[in-house]
Structure 1
Amino acid sequence: MTSLGSRRWWVLGALVVILLAVSLDLTALNVALPTLAAQLDAGTSALQWIVASYTLVSATLLIPAGLIGDRYGRKKTLLGGLALFLAGSVLATLVSSPAGLITARTLMGVGSAAITPLAMSVLLVVFPPEERPKALAAWTGASFLGLPLGPIIGGWLLDHFWWGSIFFINIPVSAVALVLGLVLIPESRSATAPRPDFAGLLLSTGGLIALVYGTIQEEDYGWSSPGVWGVMTAGAVALVAFVVWTRRVRHPLIDLRLFADRSFTGGLVPATLMTFAMFGVLFVGPQYFQAVLGTGPLGSGVRLLPLIGGLLVASRLSALLVKRLGARVTIAAGGLVMAGAMVAGATTNAGSGYGLAAAWLTVAGLGMGLMLPASMTAAMGALSAERAGVGSAVLMTVRLVGGAFGAAILGSLLSAGYRGHVDVAGLPPAAAEAARGGVGGGLAVAGRLHDPHLLHSARAAFTHGMDLTLLAGAGIMAAAAVLAVILLPRRGATDPLGNGQSTHEYASA
């Protein structure tokens, strides 16, 4: 350890740079969705896949990537992830179709799955215990910094360059991190790491992808189509098989016993539902700003700052409330605050301009900021030190899966609301089908035909679909609040694993 000397901080710099690139990429993409819809002729389903492909692949590979790194070498796996993320970013700047971009995003998701857990593992190996708090603080700061910078940087790039510029920024950052990693990061592995459960990986990944695919395709083909219900049934069967397999295999991909703990599940479920709803807001918000309010990409990114600001402010307050009231009350309060904000958003969007949108986005961010730290405190407080690594990986995985389903399900609801209300009467069949494909298609057809009626109809139809999406999200957050009350033990209950600490005390330690 001491032979690393001051190189440790260069290693940390490389890890922070790549984490910042990953977090910037995730948030910057949201402001690009309207641009992608227009320039790549991408309908709502294509936009859903552009978001969900990255998130779903990253989520399902997160745990096996960590196990592969532990067994075969953390440096090799991390650098392999960096190389894949770099290759995906290069491909994303070169493609000219939604299918090509979905492929690139999938590749980037595979790389991200290796980067996140292995970078943390390398950090813990490189830094001695007395220096880890500083290193972890820098690591956490990079992830938080990506939240406000992503929409702003992404919007500025889209205002000045072509749509692929939001991915081009990843290339020099990833390349620098890759070189620094090759030179500075030492190789390490675990002598006791089990062989990854590849059968469980195939069953879980296949099942989740099938369910997301069916959800997105339902809008185009309907529930009666075998291509929808057949695929979703196959996905459900694969997930049931995954649970059965996991109960029988010696070293499962996920330890299902974690979910039997009320504190762990009571923290995990609200956090996952919050991520579900948040991905829905981030999916529809930038499109509303650009398509309905007429802002540019940079303006759209700036208009998301109230949401992020509310989240950052309330995350500081959350720890104090957990200490005074307990995680149970704090999570439930955050869920109700977020639900109320989304109801307000659904009832004030049409013709209200940005002022009221900024208000409800701020309140929604406050609800998120109250919920997320408290949920993590509750879940992680149920774990012993030996199970903290596995538990945190499961938390991240399930939350990311929730985000993928949020973009898929709420995006499909948005599309259904739009298609059912846009007025295409009198348009040629090809133009009518293009207008029904999404608000971007409707605006493009209206501009091409100089049709102010269609322009107004497309904007009104999108607003209707967004209202449905926000109301559904409000219902989900109200359910999250109720489930937090039902699942979490009352304040003062000790860790069920017998550690004798409250959930807050353990998480704070």
Structure 2
Amino acid sequence: MPASFRLSQRLVVPVMCVSVTFIAIVDGAITTVALPSIARQFHLTTAALDGVVVVYPVCLAMAIPASAWLVERFGGRRVLLTSLLGFLFSSLLCGAAADLGQLVAFRALQGLSAGVLFPASAALLFRTFTSSEQVRISRYMIIPQQIAPAAAPVLGGLLVDHLSWRWVFYVNVPVGLPAALFGLLFLAEHRDRRPGRFDLPGLLLSAAALATLMFGICEGPNRGWSSPAVLTALGVGAVLLACAVVFELRTSEPILRLRLFADRLFRDTNLVNLVGLVPILGAMYLGPLFLQEGQGRSALESGTSTFPEAFGVLLTVQLAGVLYARVGPRVIIGTGLAGVCAVLLLFSTCDAGTDLWTFRGYMFLLGIAMGGVFMPSTVASLATVAKTDLAQASTLNTVVRQTGGALAPAAVTTALVLNTPTGAATAPPVSAYQHAYLVLAAIAAVAAAFAFTIPDGPARAAAGGRAGGRTTASSRSVPVQRRRENAL
């Protein structure tokens, strides 16, 4: 349509990606604030609302495998706008839910929409910009991405206190509709290849494996890792995952192109993301628990004390964008994770008498270290991926990040439970939080050591770190094997 070309796609695509990410992050962070109010209205305990929380990541994991095929078959524009409108419509339904059953069902629809939304927006972004441009633009896109999780709890509290818990879901609509209209008017169609035959067996296997594993990981800390439901979910999920891998590697047109992991740079950066996200997100999850349960602080004190992390991330991402092509992502990612390890060791010294400003200082240092991990690892992971494989690569990246995101609270809760005296009716002792920080520090150290082995020559070349290394969008279609040989 002619209207799609009134604005440069180099402006339109980042606006859409930022909008989508902001809406999704706010929705994920704001929902937990409303749980006590929802429980009161439905005359339930907060623990009974477990399904509202768990169904979202489970359904998101189910939808992710199909996202790349949908983008290739129907085009990035159509898939992005359809999934965004589906997310907004399901938000309306969540706000209008009459009972717990309806709310869980509508949250499932939200999760299915988000499972397609994330990879579709990422594929559009990485298709539009070269590696060197992605580094520069990430320095600006990170700002709303950091503001969203910090602002969400405050916004959620205001909405719940002054309006209703239903507005926690309704608020997505006035924010998301302008983005959808903007995309409808100005977003051009993006399609790099026609997909092959739809891989229904691969979809069923991979979706069932991811959903079952996600359920087991999310419920393990709550029900206990030895509970029959969790053991069954993890066992069945592992078997289904093994079957899915074997089937996808033998299929000419798989729903998940696992052969992309044959490229070492793509594989190693995803491994770093999988393991590295556990201590990073685990620390973000553990901080409020320590302040509110370990020290007896208020929710407001907790929120203002974890907020400095965002400023640290914003500062480091600007520096990482300047240094990326000069020193390479390997040094930046490895140093960032080593910094995360060091700060977590500082957190492990916190006790009941640690003042808030000390904790806030540690959170700021954590943000500085975190800022060296997210952007470089994402950009480097796609440096050697052909343009025609970007949708599939973005899908695999999303699978890895969602898995790491689910493992983080599971690791933290498990560490707390193991270090809490048996039969204790109160919150875990301060020593349990200290041990949990030590566990996260150990995981960060392992991730940092591995990050320093990443072969980042191709990533530096793609970002302009070598003479003639600046690439164009078309250069991504060069076969991966040939580019790897040139980088050696």
Aligned mate of 2:446, from 479, 482, 486: 479
1:249, distance to aligned residue in structure 2 (A): 0.8
Task: Name the residue aligned to 1:448.
Answer: none
Task: Name the residue aligned to 1:346.
Answer: 348
Equivalent pair of 1:337/1:367 in contact (CA under 8 Å): yes
What is the DSSP-based 3-state SS (H/G/I as helix, E as strand, rest coil) of the residue aligned with 1:479?
A: helix
Deviations along 1:164-222, one digit per CA (max 9) or x if unpaired, are 43323113223444455566666676662334433222222222232233344445655
Q: How does 1:204-283 map to 2 (within 5 A)?
A: 204-219=206-221, 222-283=224-285
Equivalent pair of 1:327/1:504 in contact (CA under 8 Å): no
Check if 1:42 corresponds to 2:50: no
Distance 1:462 1:99 in 2: 36
Deviations along 1:410-445, one digit per CA (max 9) or x if unpaired, are 334445545x46644xxxxxxxxxxxxxxxxxxxxx
290-299 vs 62-71, which moves further: 290-299
Are the structure 2 counterparts of residues 254 and 153 from structure 1 closer, same or farther at C-alpha, using a change threshold of 3 Å?
same
Equivalent pair of 1:51/1:407 in contact (CA under 8 Å): no
Count of equivalent residues:
463
Equivalent pair of 2:462/2:470 in contact (CA under 8 Å): no
Distance 1:468 1:46 in 2: 29
467-476 vs 317-326, which moves further: 317-326
Deviations along 1:201-251, one digit per CA (max 9) or x if unpaired, are 222222223223334444565555443323321111100001100111111
Equivalent pair of 1:203/1:241 in contact (CA under 8 Å): yes
Equivalent pair of 1:159/1:296 in contact (CA under 8 Å): no
Q: How does 1:177-196 map to 2 (within 5 A)?
A: 177-178=179-180, 192-196=194-198
Distance 1:478 1:327 in 2: 17
Give ranges in structure 2 of 5+ residues lacking alignment: 473-488
Are the structure 2 counterparts of residues 352 and 212 from structure 1 closer, same or farther at C-alpha, using a change threshold of 3 Å?
same
Aligned mate of 1:309, from 294, 306, 311: 311
1:395, distance to aligned residue in structure 2 (A): 1.9
What is the DSSP-based 3-state SS (H/G/I as helix, E as strand, rest coil) of the residue aligned with 1:348?
A: coil
Deviations along 1:440-461, one digit per CA (max 9) or x if unpaired, are xxxxxxxxxxxxxxxxx43xx2
Task: Name the residue aligned to 1:62.
Answer: 64
Task: Name the residue aligned to 1:445.
Answer: none
Deviations along 1:14-70, one digit per CA (max 9) or x if unpaired, are 665444322322343466678778986334x966x6555434533553352242143
Are the structure 2 counterparts of residues 217 and 386 from structure 1 closer, same or farther at C-alpha, using a change threshold of 3 Å?
closer
1:282, distance to aligned residue in structure 2 (A): 3.2
Alignment TM-score, normalising by the size of structure 2? 0.78
Distance 1:69 1:377 in 2: 20
State the AA in 2 paired with 1:395: N
Task: Name the residue aligned to 1:359.
Answer: 361
State the AA in 1 paired with 2:403: V
Are the structure 2 counterparts of residues 4 and 113 from structure 1 closer, same or farther at C-alpha, using a change threshold of 3 Å?
same
Are the structure 2 counterparts of residues 217 and 21 from structure 1 closer, same or farther at C-alpha, using a change threshold of 3 Å?
closer
Deviations along 1:73-128, one digit per CA (max 9) or x if unpaired, are 55553343223312332343345877765544332121122333444667899x99
Task: Name the residue aligned to 1:428.
Answer: none
Q: How does 1:138-153 map to 2 (within 5 A)?
A: 142-153=144-155
State the AA in 2 paired with 1:467: Q
Are the structure 2 counterparts of residues 169 and 467 from structure 1 closer, same or farther at C-alpha, using a change threshold of 3 Å?
farther
Distance 2:243 2:344 in 1: 37
Are the structure 2 counterparts of residues 248 and 185 from structure 1 closer, same or farther at C-alpha, using a change threshold of 3 Å?
same
State the AA in 2 paired with 1:282: M
Are the structure 2 counterparts of residues 216 and 464 from structure 1 closer, same or farther at C-alpha, using a change threshold of 3 Å?
farther
What is the DSSP-based 3-state SS (H/G/I as helix, E as strand, rest coil) of the residue aligned with 2:242?
A: helix
Are the structure 2 counterparts of residues 508 and 302 from structure 1 closer, same or farther at C-alpha, using a change threshold of 3 Å?
farther
Distance 2:308 2:202 in 1: 41
Check if 1:20 corresponds to 2:14: no
State the AA in 1 paired with 2:312: G
Q: How does 1:71-470 map to 2 (within 5 A)?
A: 71-72=73-74, 74-95=76-97, 102-119=104-121, 142-178=144-180, 192-219=194-221, 222-293=224-295, 297-415=299-417, 417=419, 420=421, 423-424=424-425, 457-458=426-427, 461=428, 463-470=430-437
What is the DSSP-based 3-state SS (H/G/I as helix, E as strand, rest coil) of the residue aligned with 2:63?
A: helix
Distance 2:269 2:241 in 1: 22
Equivalent pair of 1:270/1:484 in contact (CA under 8 Å): yes
Task: Name the residue aligned to 2:6.
Answer: 6
Equivalent pair of 1:15/1:119 in contact (CA under 8 Å): yes
Give ranges in structure 1 of 5+ residues lacking alignment: 425-456
What is the DSSP-based 3-state SS (H/G/I as helix, E as strand, rest coil) of the residue aligned with 1:341?
A: helix
Are the structure 2 counterparts of residues 256 and 117 from structure 1 closer, same or farther at C-alpha, using a change threshold of 3 Å?
closer
Alignment TM-score, normalising by the size of structure 1? 0.75
Equivalent pair of 1:16/1:139 in contact (CA under 8 Å): yes
1:299, distance to aligned residue in structure 2 (A): 4.5
State the AA in 2 paired with 1:361: M
Are the structure 2 counterparts of residues 349 and 62 from structure 1 closer, same or farther at C-alpha, using a change threshold of 3 Å?
farther
Distance 1:255 1:415 in 2: 38
> What RMSD, in angstroms, separates the aligned Cα atoms of the two structures?
4.0
Equivalent pair of 2:274/2:401 in contact (CA under 8 Å): yes
Equivalent pair of 1:273/1:480 in contact (CA under 8 Å): yes
